[in-house]
Chains A and B, each alone.
Chain A
Amino acid sequence: MAPREVLFKCLNCMHEYPGMFDMDNVTERVCPKCRSNSVRRLPKPKPDKK
């Protein structure tokens, strides 16, 4: 799968930032603000059914 831009959220300082995500090439995530590794890749928001 090609790398794509996703939203990351640091679960330590709650900082949200965009970044590249590549399923085949996993890299260590570090929050650019607080240097924590508790960085979650936020799931894509589900499209509104209406």
Chain B
Amino acid sequence: MMDVGRHPNVEMLTFSEVEQVTGFVGNFNVTVRKKARYVNPDECTSCDECTKVCPVAVPDEYQQGFSSRKAIYLPFPQAVPSSYILNMENCLGNNPIACGKCQDVCEKKCINYDDSDELINIEVGVIIAATGMEVYDPTEYDEYGYTRYENVITSLEFERLICAGGPTEGHFIRPTDRETPKSIGFIQCVGSRSTDGRGNPYCSNICCMNTVKDTLLLCDHYSGVEIKVFYMDIRAFGKGFEDLYMRSKEEGVKYIRGIPGEVVENSDNKNLILTVENTTTGKLEKHDLEMLVLSQGVIPRKDNAKIRQLLTLSTTSDGFIMESHPKLKPVDAPTKGIFLAGCMESPKDVKDSVTQSGAAAARASILLNAGETKVEAITSMVDPDKCNYCGVCSRVCPYNAILAPDKKTKKLPTIIQAACAGCGACASECQQDAIYMRHFRDEQLTAQVEAILAEDPYKQLVVFACNWCSYAGGDMAGTSRLQYPTACRLIRTMCSGRVDEKFVLQAFKLGAPMVLVSGCHFTDCHYISAVHWTQKRMDRLWNKLDKLGIRPERLQLEWISAAEGQKFAKVMRNMEEKLATVTQEEIEYTMKALAEDEEKEKVKKQKKDKAVEVSS
């Protein structure tokens, strides 16, 4: 961090927050709020005279509340810049100045009570997002007694207690009697791999090895301490991790397979009695321990939704930020020019974070060095003759790639080609057909529908499949030699968001008995949120079919990922079964009803156009 602070090519903005990000790859404009520090970092020498006179004492967040800090303080010992900061919420007041002692003793005169936030604009070509994660608060696991029993602490609190720079200067003591505990227990997976509604279902990745490291630290510092680790299974998968785990066992640490169901405090000596089912022996055991450490999991930042909105990113079902492709673009965000590093993407240890940061920096430098970027061949275009300036296109774009039109000034929507990823949601949502997608134009897709239904239409299953997931799922079914009906006819679109209502209606009008729209699962969507519009559109289509007296179940929707070959085959077999229930009369009625509806719509549109012409 010191090296970064000193580097001539790196400008560090600490104690700052990104407020807005506009633009696109190569031309991002970032608005940053530099918060008021009330201390000039260039002048402050960290002499510590101010903290000596400050009368305010509040719990120190960095030391997990085990010690206190003053209202003016150094955030942590290795802080860059090594400058004090004044927390105005803790200060006795600056308007009017209630105390002012720190300003009086500061020889360098670097304390300024009139300091205020500053907004700065930065133009950048690429962005690397590394906003990190938070730790899980285990209070909801009431059976462990965290916050009820003083001797139950979290792994992060353990870290502060055993750290030489911590509140006890590295002397590990238990909070109730300030004595070194003779027996310590660790409970693994607190808030991780949980399916009972508390915590999170995913593995936090780092807790097992963190506990192994902690047990070794204890063994090194305090020989003779009895250490027990209660676990489901130890995940020591990295390089050298298994050796570390074996070393911990050799040092005498007892690993007991079983997660305690109850922790009770002995009111006399404040010891903790754990009840656990040892799943190796199948016996119920009670363990008397002087201290208990909860190995808490990690969770996404609480403000991830804001970050996601700022940078037009998407999140996984766990709440972490999703990468563009898990194998081919693991550090790229779905928005071009934005890269991800560290735990904002998924829980990971230091080594993986450093590796990912290096990869993100390399990916970013490729773009920066080239000085130019290739835009997608499949992007949207506006037809100026058809646009009525409604602005739907700019509202549905997941990438904010369409600048809104203006009816008053007759300004057409502007599509930023460098930002457009080509999902086609805008083209499908535009009721005027004023937006078309290169290579996936309406004419090209309707021609495919017509070709499929040219012969024996009542025998065909029309399937719209997205390029990245459903179509690949079909490939997976094929390469896995899974049997599925030969009647299915696939039409590939880049995203299910491109499947226009009129393609589906046209298929029915031409005699298709069943139509399937399939796309990526919401958390896999390659176009951030384009798939959301597919679901909304399907609701509209089902309502329309119902209104026309056509069975809505003849139109099916399925989210199929690239790995779900089995699901693809199952869905197709299911579609074939449903096809058998559609009668010839039903198909004929559908064709007639849709043709009549189309005629009605045409007349309605003509009347509307005429009215507009007269009024103008």
- Which residues on A are within 8 Å of B, measured CB to CB? 11-12, 14, 26-29, 36-41, 43
- Whether B121 is near chain A, meaning CB under 8 Å from some CB there, is no
Per-residue contact bits, chain B 13-44, to A (CB 8 Å; 1 contact, 0 not) = 00000000000000000000000000000000
**Which A residues are CB-close (under 8 A) to B448?**
none
Q: In B279-323, which residues have CB < 8 Å from any A CB?
A: none
Supply 15 further A-B pairs (C-beta < 8 A) apart from A36-B558, A43-B543.
A12-B553, A12-B556, A12-B574, A26-B529, A26-B532, A26-B535, A27-B522, A28-B522, A28-B559, A29-B535, A37-B559, A38-B557, A38-B558, A40-B542, A40-B552
**Which A residues are CB-close (under 8 A) to B543?**
43
User: Taking A11-B553, A40-B542 as contacts, is the C-beta distance between A26 and B536 under 8 angstroms?
Assistant: yes
How far, in angstroms, from A29 to B535 measured CA to CA in the complex?
A: 9
- Whether B348 is near chain A, meaning CB under 8 Å from some CB there, is no
Max chain B Cβ within 10 angstroms of own Cβ: one of A12, A14, A37, A43? A37
- Whether B363 is near chain A, meaning CB under 8 Å from some CB there, is no
How far, in angstroms, from A17 to B403 measured CA to CA in the complex?
A: 40
Determine if B539 and A41 form an interchain contact, defined as CB atoms under 8 angstroms apart. yes
- Which residues on B are within 8 Å of A, measured CB to CB? 521-523, 529, 532, 535-536, 538-539, 542-543, 552-553, 555-559, 574
**Which B residues are CB-close (under 8 A) to A41?**
539
Closest to B305 in A: A25
5 smallest CB-CB distances across A and B, nearest first, come from A26-B532, A11-B553, A28-B522, A38-B556, A40-B542
**Which B residues are CB-close (under 8 A) to A38?**
553, 555-558
Closest to A35 in B: B567
Q: Which of B529, B553, B557 interacts with A37 by CB under 8 Å?
A: B557
How far, in angstroms, from A29 to B529 measured CA to CA in the complex?
A: 15
**Which A residues are CB-close (under 8 A) to B555?**
11, 38
How far, in angstroms, from A41 to B556 measured CA to CA in the complex?
A: 13
How far, in angstroms, from A27 to B556 measured CA to CA in the complex?
A: 17
Determine if A40 and B539 form an interchain contact, defined as CB atoms under 8 angstroms apart. yes
In the complex, what's the smallest C-beta–C-beta distance from A19 to chain B, in angstroms? 13
In the complex, what's the smallest C-beta–C-beta distance from A9 to chain B, in angstroms? 9
**Which B residues are CB-close (under 8 A) to A29?**
535
How far, in angstroms, from A28 to B561 measured CA to CA in the complex?
A: 13
In the complex, what's the smallest C-beta–C-beta distance from A43 to chain B, in angstroms? 6
In the complex, what's the smallest C-beta–C-beta distance from B537 to chain A, in angstroms? 12
In the complex, what's the smallest C-beta–C-beta distance from B538 to chain A, in angstroms? 8
Closest to B539 in A: A41
How far, in angstroms, from A39 to B557 measured CA to CA in the complex?
A: 8
Could you name 12 residue pairs across A and B whose Cβ atoms are closer than 8 Å?
A11-B552, A11-B555, A12-B553, A12-B574, A14-B553, A26-B529, A26-B535, A26-B536, A36-B556, A38-B558, A41-B539, A43-B543
How far, in angstroms, from A8 to B523 measured CA to CA in the complex?
A: 21
**Which B residues are CB-close (under 8 A) to A14?**
553
**Which A residues are CB-close (under 8 A) to B558?**
36-38
**Which B residues are CB-close (under 8 A) to A11?**
542, 552-553, 555-557
How far, in angstroms, from A28 to B558 measured CA to CA in the complex?
A: 10
Closest to A40 in B: B542
How far, in angstroms, from A29 to B557 measured CA to CA in the complex?
A: 10
